[in-house]
């Protein structure tokens, strides 16, 4: 398995195609009984409208959903991934077989509303920390089966991807340290897999633990559930030796204060775990 996902254009299309195939199988099953009432030779035009302002994300997933049902369908995007739309704006126009567009409608909108929600929320967090050293980072708290799609959406909102899974990076937590017999021991063992990992990171809960892992040579440290005073002390103790990341207790209201402590990264599980779908609708037009 590859260490990370590069989100190149072709890779995204391949990912979207696999996600769309799985979603259509779930929704369509043996066939769309209602769309079957429509003349299979009939063509249709439709528009997708945004009901609220948002950062658009998910165009590849919409395209894959529609074109798996009608390979000849035409899609014209007026707002591209990573761009903002306004309430009432037409973001997409489609033309193809009426049956296919009707069958694709809900699955396509499900992808669009979820991924745009992730991108929109991420963009809000990124805006708040502008002017500080802090970057907004995602976590593994994603919808099962849609992790890569959601992490792509985080990128479209201006955020940074943490590890994709357990296979591409090392994150040493309290239980790992206990099981290995100590911080020095587990970091020594981590060196043996460093060539397979994008990074090695150690989680600490106290300033004493921070000093210990820094003395042991840690280059990335996760500061878990520390208050503002502790975070400022942690930055001073670190003195630029390691990349510092905040985890736990992060709220939108307190985000700016956390960023101003001088840490390098703030990880936010809510970017992918606690999102409210963006409202889109599809309208069919007369030919």
The size of the chain, in residues, is: 287
User: Among the options 19, 81, 105, 203, which is catalytic?
Assistant: 203
Q: Per the residue annotation, which of 93, 224, 260, 279 is the catalytic one?
A: 224
The answer to whether residue 232 is catalytic is: no
Q: In what helix (H) or strand (E) does residue 255 lie, and over which residues does it extend?
A: helix 255-259
Which residue of the set 45, 141, 147, 189 is catalytic? 141
First to last CA, the chain: 48
Sign of CA pseudo-dihedral 70, 72, 78, 81: positive
286 is catalytic: no
Burial 193-212 (b: 16+ CB within 10 A, else e): eeeebbebbbbbbebebbeb
Measured distance CA(45)–CA(75) in Å, rounded: 10
Burial label, 223 (beta-carbon count in 10 A; 0-12, 13-18, 19+): buried
Place of tokens 């609708």: 281
Active-site annotation holds for 42: no
- Is 151 known to be catalytic? no
Which member of 3, 42, 51, 106 is catalytic?
106
Let me know if 106 is a catalytic residue: yes
Given the residues 140, 147, 173, 273, the one annotated as active site: 173
Catalytic residues: 106, 141, 173, 203, 224
């Amino acid at each position: 398995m590859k260490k990370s996902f590069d989100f190149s254009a072709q890779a995204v299309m391949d990912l979207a195609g696999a996600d769309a195939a799985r979603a259509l199988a779930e929704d369509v099953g043996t066939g769309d009984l209602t769309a079957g009432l429509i003349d299979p030779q009939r063509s249709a035009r439709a528009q997708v409208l945004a009901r609220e302002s948002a950062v658009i994300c998910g165009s590849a997933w919409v395209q894959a959903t529609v074109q798996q049902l009608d390979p000849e369908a035409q899609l014209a995007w007026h707002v591209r991934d990573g761009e903002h739309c306004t309430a009432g704006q037409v973001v997409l126009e489609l033309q193809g077989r009426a049956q296919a567009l009707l069958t694709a409608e809900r699955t396509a909108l499900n992808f669009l509303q979820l991924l745009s929600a992730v991108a929109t929320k991420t963009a809000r967090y990124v805006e708040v920390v502008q002017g500080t050293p802090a970057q907004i980072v995602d976590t593994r708290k994603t919808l099962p089966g849609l992790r890569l799609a959601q992490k792509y959406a985080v990128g479209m909102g201006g955020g940074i991807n943490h590890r994709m899974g357990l296979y591409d990076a090392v994150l040493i937590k309290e239980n790992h340290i206990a099981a290995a017999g100590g911080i020095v021991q587990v970091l020594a063992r981590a060196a043996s897999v460093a060539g397979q990992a994008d990074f090695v990171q150690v989680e600490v809960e106290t300033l004493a633990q921070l000093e210990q892992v820094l003395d042991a040579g840690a280059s990335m440290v996760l500061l878990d559930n520390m208050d503002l005073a502790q975070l400022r002390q942690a930055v001073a103790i670190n003195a630029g030796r390691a990349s510092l990341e905040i985890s736990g207790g992060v709220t939108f209201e307190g985000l700016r204060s956390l960023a101003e402590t001088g840490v390098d990264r703030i990880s936010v599980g809510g970017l992918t775990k606690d999102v409210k779908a963006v409202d889109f609708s599809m309208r069919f037009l007369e030919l």
